[in-house]
Structure 1
């Protein structure tokens, strides 16, 4: 009889892409497995999951709004409503296991599964675990983590060190000729190339620093691939209009080309970005988003900085430091080589398969 598994969570690419990678690995290992995603209505997963070919159910749920306390008035009612919605989903689908990847919908799904004695699994992508995952971890069958030191958040006997799943195309970056990748962005060979990424919505501090300093980068002999994100995309494109040695756009659909073209990367420090940069092995300057829950992006970046595998600039200092730091790094081949060597040691390419196999083994034995 086919096994049925619910995968719950989303909200950002950092949750959705690992979830899809795990789903694909489950299907590869057991083509008969039935998968159902559960997400939050109005969030990114409601679009991305169906595009990947999987069914998804949406919950009326939202997270705590830190910027406006008034917007949290309806939160308890939404949470209660989501539990009723999850109950209906469970009654209809009858899952054999539930996997939580983080995001608003993970909590009610895994909470109900645990109440019903259904095996639950958590994928914690960050170096600092969120409170919901910490609560759920006490009754989870296994907790898959990206790095060491997570016993401060979870029972040590339940931890499984797997790394973070990355998109399949990213693993193939090494096979893309650099010249081909540079031509993809209309840039020249022989010039140091910086890739700037700040997530799908963009990173204001990174964008403002580059808008003010891309001419300084050009004067230093660097060229730039600049993913601005959706927020104020037209403004950033207008700033860069007519400039040479520069590709600017709100989203890069083929990130493997961007990584192949880049000599240096400046990026936020979400878990997915960190995992991908470890796999492709590029010198990186992290600018962590300071308002992420529990400041987990700073924890993610610091874990690499402490191993001489990355550089970091606080968001508040981005305007003054990003461009000078990039120029200094471009002028130091020895530092680039050190960062590349150390970050590559942390790259994991088979995390999705490891997680999927552990889940299937546990279900088979339950």
Structure 2
């Protein structure tokens, strides 16, 4: 069997795709898998690192106002459609899975024209425009949130959850994890995550909280600034506090979750799924800079189930760490959140999606 997986652009699209590919290979080791991504984007390095081949398309997203870039993008889109056609005609896949992102659209569109079975994996609680446009041609649409029938046909929907990295199911030696991050195993830990690039609002608030942080005795902070902001904060007084560990990026997320008592993070769909699988109580700060404000919708889905707290981006100043410390000291609330996170957790999402694709695409 041959399968094409298309999409990417951000970790929220790329890492679920890799998790599904890994699950497919476990179930059917002889399956040939080819990724298609957007040139210059994360997938062009992350996918080969995971052991898979990838082809890049010269494609990007439309800007919401008229620009010369949009005019040029029309020609790049035509070129991507033509390359997608040649790729699919040559590789002859039995199925195509779209995970969202720039490269997903052209490949899914051409696959539909060629009558190749297509599948969609929508990570967010608010469907992306590419997935909405192509959904009528999909055999199955895999989602992670309830009430997605407002975007997609009920007959195609399958609520299977978001795939998370397989390492999260590993048994972690917590003492080794504390040692890895050079943290104290006798102190409670708050982690701050703004994504691989970082979050300006979160970083600014941590940096402005020196007085509060310097007075903590039994609490430590693991702070991922993001690569974009590392130079700005690596020598900041907060970063130099003995109980604060600042890093530009953290790859060993399984170790991070193992020592986390409370998380402060954006509300990307995959982050939320990982919090659910690992049972980490969190304060979610949705990014205001995403399409259709989908991170707020993601966060509200957890807040309504009393599984997380939420603070709007414009309400963070002077409030964020105080709320985190209050949650850290409220053992009963954290216990309640852990129970509710377990209820919505879907740790087998990658395997379940892989099984559906293989079952419905047998040749």
DSSP 3-state at the match of 1:196: strand
- Contact kept, 8 Å, 1:49 with 1:56, in 2: the verdict is yes
**Separation in 1 of the partners of 2:295 and 2:197?**
16
- After TM superposition, give the deviation of residue 266 of structure 1 in Å: 0.4
- After TM superposition, give the deviation of residue 72 of structure 1 in Å: 2.4
DSSP 3-state at the match of 1:232: helix
Map of 1:41 onto structure 2: 39
**Separation in 2 of the partners of 1:37 and 1:185?**
33
> Are 1:219 and 2:215 an aligned pair?
yes
- After TM superposition, give the deviation of residue 67 of structure 1 in Å: 8.0
> Are 1:199 and 2:232 an aligned pair?
no
- Contact kept, 8 Å, 1:220 with 1:327, in 2: the verdict is no
Residues 283-298 of structure 1 aligned to structure 2 (within 5 Å): 283-298=281-296
> Are 1:231 and 2:231 an aligned pair?
no
TM-score (norm 2): 0.96
**Separation in 2 of the partners of 1:159 and 1:153?**
10
Aligned-pair Cα RMSD in Å: 1.5
> Are 1:58 and 2:56 an aligned pair?
yes
- After TM superposition, give the deviation of residue 69 of structure 1 in Å: 3.9
**Separation in 2 of the partners of 1:19 and 1:269?**
19
Summarize deviations over 1:276-333 as a string: whole Å, max 9, x none: 1000001100011112111111111110000000001111112232112112112211
- After TM superposition, give the deviation of residue 116 of structure 1 in Å: 1.2
- After TM superposition, give the deviation of residue 214 of structure 1 in Å: 4.5
- 225-234 or 69-78: which moved more? 69-78
Map of 1:100 onto structure 2: 98
**Separation in 2 of the partners of 1:92 and 1:49?**
21
- After TM superposition, give the deviation of residue 358 of structure 1 in Å: 0.6
Please list every run of 5 or more consecutive structure 2 residues that lacks an aligned counterpart in the other structure: none
Quickly say closer, same or farther: Cα 1:241–1:264, change in 2 above 3 A: closer
- After TM superposition, give the deviation of residue 79 of structure 1 in Å: 0.9
- Contact kept, 8 Å, 1:269 with 1:297, in 2: the verdict is yes
- Contact kept, 8 Å, 2:303 with 2:309, in 1: the verdict is yes
**Separation in 1 of the partners of 2:275 and 2:111?**
34
Summarize deviations over 1:93-142 as a string: whole Å, max 9, x none: 11111100010011111111111111000000111101210111111000
Deviating above 6 A after TM superposition, structure 1's stretches of 4 or more consecutive aligned residues are none
Quickly say closer, same or farther: Cα 1:52–1:64, change in 2 above 3 A: same
- Contact kept, 8 Å, 1:15 with 1:101, in 2: the verdict is yes
Please list every run of 5 or more consecutive structure 1 residues that lacks an aligned counterpart in the other structure: none
- After TM superposition, give the deviation of residue 180 of structure 1 in Å: 3.0
Map of 2:178 onto structure 1: 182
- After TM superposition, give the deviation of residue 199 of structure 1 in Å: 0.6
**Separation in 2 of the partners of 1:83 and 1:77?**
10
**Separation in 1 of the partners of 2:345 and 2:258?**
16
Quickly say closer, same or farther: Cα 1:34–1:233, change in 2 above 3 A: same
**Separation in 2 of the partners of 1:143 and 1:116?**
19
